[in-house]
């Protein structure tokens, strides 16, 4: 199973970006999917998660600005980021709990995509 993240880049403060992450491989189903971020020298922190049923959870720092969604038919999770701030600058990682055809559930991580918010 592979998670391929895309959509990072450079944006001005107040701007928007949309991250995407597609899962591929031997997938029976996917439980929760999410986005995390990690600044240099700091622990990886949760940004947002979404269950297979569509329930969402957000870090307080992004509530009202970021929206997580998923397309179960495409095994893809999205993160719409609006009103971006310089402190949102870091590498973003997607995560998925993938259940394979043998009934095993394994957590997978994408390769990370850099978001830079700067004027």
CA distance 7 to 111: 12
pLDDT in tens, 58-115: 999 999 999 999 999 999 999 999 999 999 999 999 999 999 888 899 999 999 999 9
Mind listing the pLDDT tens digit for each residue in 25-69?
989 999 999 999 999 899 999 999 999 999 999 999 999 999 999
- Give the dihedral sign, CA 51/48/105/74: positive
Whether the CB-CB separation of 63 and 47 falls below 8 Å is answered with no
Instruction: Give me the pLDDT at residue 11, please.
Output: 97
Q: Return the higher-pLDDT residue of 40 and 13.
A: 13
pLDDT at 100: 87
Q: Which two tokens stand for residue 76?
A: 């893809």
């Amino acid at each position: 199973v592979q998670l391929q993240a895309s959509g990072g880049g450079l944006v001005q403060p107040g701007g928007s970006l949309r991250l995407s992450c597609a899962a591929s491989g031997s997938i029976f189903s996917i439980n929760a999917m999410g986005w995390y971020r990690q600044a240099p020298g700091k622990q990886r922190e949760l940004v947002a998660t979404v269950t297979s049923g569509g329930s969402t959870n957000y870090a307080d720092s992004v509530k009202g600005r970021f929206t997580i969604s998923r397309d179960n038919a495409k095994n893809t999770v999205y993160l719409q980021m609006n009103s971006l701030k310089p402190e949102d600058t870091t590498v973003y990682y997607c995560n998925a709990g993938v259940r394979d055809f043998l009934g095993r559930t394994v957590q997978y991580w994408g390769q990370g995509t850099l978001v830079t918010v700067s004027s």
